[in-house]
């Protein structure tokens, strides 16, 4: 069986992490090609990549003429991949040796083979924890996947959209699935949702060696209203594009309104800072769930600032 793998790395201003990232892919079994796409970096990322890997046959370096975002970069690589499997590796992250060897032991007709992630922190790299604490293999359907990404009060969000699984390339090409290039946040969630809605079989297993490095200034930690709006609205696009059952549609709507509350909080807070009282009132009373979300956040802010509660 052909278990060849292409690794896609979208790189932008990651001069401090890119060598460790690429080397961790080179040290994996079954890797045929590593596509590194420099997304118009303004630091020394491209220079480091060219100087370090210009003689490495497995590394193919692509460059964007302007900053286009990770989705555009990944789509460029997907168009020229010719392996059985493809996977994404974020340029801040790295993999522990033998990850792919472990993942492929679960290949039994699945189109998505995902593993729990290890997490470490940029300011404390010695700390290593697991994101999901998966202990036994779990079959993931579209219902479980979407539900896992919905924020619930006093409940840990599983965030399966952050995983970086092995994906069967023939399935992606059969249904001509691409990353949404306007999305710079949650593009993986949208992509995996489309795979599952087309019938992809997804198995989730214990952590095999993907290490995500948590940074305070990462895009997922500093997202803009525009980023959140694209993420929110992709749920409506998925509903419109797939004539699925009412249960999954209701989950997408639930996720839509969960993200919408966060957007409205930012809009409300921005209006207050700009002393736009009419706008802040308009946002506050636009929906009942938004009202309760904003007032709850205001109460928490009051406790922290004036009552010294955390």
Instruction: Of 3, 20, 34, 242, give the one whose Cα is nearest residue 113.
Output: 3
Question: What does the angle CA 11 – CA 219 – CA 117 come to, to the nearest 5 degrees?
Answer: 80
Q: What is the arithmetic mean of pLDDT over 5-24?
A: 98
Specify the pLDDT at position 15.
97
3-state SS, residue 173: helix
Can you give the pLDDT at residue 152?
A: 77
Answer with the residue of higher pLDDT: 216 or 119. Answer: 119
Which pLDDT does position 126 carry in this prediction? 77
Residues 6+ apart with CB under 8 A from 119: 128, 129, 130, 131, 211, 212, 213, 214
Average pLDDT of the residues in 172-178 = 98
Is the confidence at residue 159, as pLDDT, over 90? no
Residues 225-268: pLDDT tens digits?
999 999 999 999 999 999 999 999 999 999 999 999 999 999 99
DSSP code of residue 229: H
Q: What is the mean pLDDT of the chain?
A: 94
Q: What is the pLDDT of residues 32-80, one digit of tens each?
A: 999 999 999 999 999 999 999 999 999 999 999 999 999 999 999 999 9
- The pLDDT value given to residue 156: 59
Asked if 112 and 145 count as a contact pair (C-beta separation under 8 A), the reply is no
Span 102-116, pLDDT tens digits: 999 999 999 999 999
Measured in degrees and rounded to the nearest 5, phi and psi for residue 120 equal: -135, 170
Question: By C-alpha distance, which of 26, 164, 167 is closest to 97?
Answer: 26
Query: Is 157's pLDDT higher than 70?
Result: no
pLDDT at 158: 73
Query: Residue 153 pLDDT more than 80?
Result: no
* Residues of the chain above pLDDT 70, percent: 95
What is the residue whose two structure tokens read 């691409």?
A: 178
Q: What is the mean pLDDT of residues 185-209?
A: 98
Give the pLDDT confidence score for residue 89 in this predicted structure: 98
What is the tens place of the pLDDT at every residue in 83-105?
A: 999 999 999 999 999 999 999 99
Task: Give 284-294 pLDDT, tens digit per residue.
Answer: 999 999 999 99
Radius of gyration of the chain (CA): 21
pLDDT at 79: 97
Say whether pLDDT at 220 is over 60: no
Measure CA 231 to chain center: 11
Distance CA 195, CA 170 (A): 12
Per-residue pLDDT, 151: 82
Q: What is the pLDDT of residue 218?
A: 57
* Interatomic CA distance for residues 242 and 169, integer angstroms: 21
Q: What is the arithmetic mean of pLDDT over 196-203? A: 98
Specify the pairing of strand 94-95 against strand 202-205.
unpaired
Q: Over 80: is that where the pLDDT of 216 sits? A: no
Q: Give the pLDDT score at 1.
A: 60
Cβ atoms of 95 and 89 closer than 8 Å: yes
What structural domains and CATH numbers belong to the chain?
5-220 (3.90.550.10), 225-308 (no CATH)
What gap in Å lies between CA 226 and CA 96, rounded to an integer?
34
Residue 154 pLDDT > 90, yes or no?
no
């Amino acid at each position: 069986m052909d278990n060849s793998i292409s690794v896609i790395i979208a790189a932008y201003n990651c001069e401090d992490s890119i060598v460790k990232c690429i080397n961790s892919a080179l040290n994996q079994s079954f890797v045929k090609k590593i596509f590194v796409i420099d997304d118009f970096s303004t630091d020394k990322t491209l220079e480091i990549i060219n100087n370090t890997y210009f003689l490495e046959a497995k590394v193919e370096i692509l460059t964007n003429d302007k900053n286009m975002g990770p989705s555009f970069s990944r789509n460029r690589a997907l168009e020229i991949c010719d392996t059985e499997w493809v996977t994404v590796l974020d340029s801040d992250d790295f993999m522990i040796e033998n990850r792919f060897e472990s993942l492929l032991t679960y290949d039994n007709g699945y189109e998505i083979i995902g593993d729990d992630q290890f997490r470490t922190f940029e300011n404390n790299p010695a700390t290593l924890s697991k994101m999901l604490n998966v202990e036994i293999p779990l079959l993931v359907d579209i219902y479980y996947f979407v539900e896992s990404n919905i924020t619930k009060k006093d409940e840990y969000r599983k965030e399966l959209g952050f995983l970086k699984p092995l994906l069967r390339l023939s399935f992606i090409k059969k249904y001509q699935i691409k990353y949404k290039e306007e999305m710079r946040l949650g593009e993986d969630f949208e992509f995996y949702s489309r795979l599952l809605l087309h019938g992809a079989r997804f198995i989730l297993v214990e952590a095999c060696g993907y290490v995500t490095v948590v940074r305070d200034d990462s895009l997922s930690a500093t997202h803009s209203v525009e980023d959140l709006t694209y993420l929110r609205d992709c749920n409506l696009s998925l509903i419109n594009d797939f004539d699925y059952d009412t249960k999954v549609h209701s989950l997408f709507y639930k996720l839509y309104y969960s993200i919408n509350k966060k957007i409205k909080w930012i809009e409300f807070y921005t209006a207050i800072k700009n002393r736009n009282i009419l706008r802040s009132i308009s946002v506050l009373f636009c929906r009942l769930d938004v009202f309760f979300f904003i007032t709850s956040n205001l109460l928490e802010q009051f406790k922290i600032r004036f009552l010294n509660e955390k």
